[in-house]
Chains A and B, each alone.
Chain A
Amino acid sequence: AQRVTQPEKLLSVFKGAPVELKCNYSYSGSPELFWYVQYSRQRLQLLLRHISRESIKGFTADLNKGETSFHLKKPFAQEEDSAMYYCALSQHNAGNMLTFGGGTRLMVKP
């Protein structure tokens, strides 16, 4: 069975510091990985998907199949990055259903 692990429930950094939110997965097939973000009082929204290989709001994430990881990184955190971040895995052969990690709350202090 597939599983997504986000080892940190809370990550607190100062503005301008680098950020790395960790995500590890276990899945026997070929997964698609996503990062979703939920800002305060807003709906859950897609931040990144690994196949897009793009940078959104300065965030990047690289799929490392050897380490089964999909860590989210940003070189310089901003206060507006404070939010809840969820890593999720999709199985193409199961109708794109998502398995979510436990989430990491990022707090960026001024």
Chain B
Amino acid sequence: SAVISQKPSRDICQRGTSLTIQCQVDSQVTMMFWYRQQPGQSLTLIATANQGSEATYESGFVIDKFPISRPNLTFSTLTVSNMSPEDSSIYLCSVGGQDQPQHFGDGTRLSIL
């Protein structure tokens, strides 16, 4: 399976600031996704990162808050904007393809003070 590198692995940020999380894959992949895992909770899909076009967001998530880029088939970024303590979560990148199961990165543990 593809090797997924996610950076940073963790960060502590001040409220009101923004953080960009990077996801790099060692091979071209069709699908890239971003999930959020709030403390003690399961994973929730934020959006599907579409190469060359705007991301597809799930209900409850908006582009202004979570802008996503996907400039090519091996890289994507998720920005968490104007952070508040409620954004403290683990953010995970995953990759997959048609008929291929998703594989996950290590995640980014984000704490907002």
Q: Name which residue of chain B comes closest to A41, CB basis.
A: B106
Cβ distance A11 to chain B, nearest Cβ, rounded Å: 16
Q: Assess A44 versus B48: contact at CB under 8 Å? Given A95-B31, A98-B102, A103-B42.
A: no
Query: By the criterion CB–CB under 8 Å, are A96 and B43 in contact?
Result: no
Q: Which of B15-23, B67-75, B80-88, B92-100 contacts A (4 or more CB under 8 A)?
A: B92-100
Query: By the criterion CB–CB under 8 Å, are A96 and B100 in contact?
Result: yes
* Chain B at the A interface: SS class: strand
Query: By the criterion CB–CB under 8 Å, are B104 and A96 in contact?
Result: no
Query: By the criterion CB–CB under 8 Å, are B106 and A43 in contact?
Result: yes
Q: Assess A97 versus B43: contact at CB under 8 Å? Given A45-B104, A46-B101.
A: no
Interface string of A30-63 (1 = CB under 8 A from B): 0000101000000111100100000000000000
Query: By the criterion CB–CB under 8 Å, are A43 and B104 in contact?
Result: yes
With an 8 A cutoff between CB atoms, is A25 at the interface? no
Query: By the criterion CB–CB under 8 Å, are A100 and B43 in contact?
Result: yes
The 28 sampled A-B contact pairs (Cβ below 8 Å) are A34-B101, A43-B105, A43-B106, A44-B43, A44-B104, A44-B107, A45-B103, A45-B104, A46-B101, A46-B102, A46-B103, A86-B42, A86-B43, A92-B98, A95-B31, A95-B48, A96-B31, A96-B96, A96-B98, A96-B102, A97-B33, A97-B45, A98-B43, A98-B94, A100-B43, A101-B42, A102-B41, A102-B42
Instruction: Please report A residues at the B interface, Cβ cutoff 8 Å.
Output: 34, 36, 43-46, 49, 86, 90, 92, 95-103
Instruction: Please report B residues at the A interface, Cβ cutoff 8 Å.
Output: 31, 33, 41-45, 48, 56, 92, 94, 96-98, 100-107
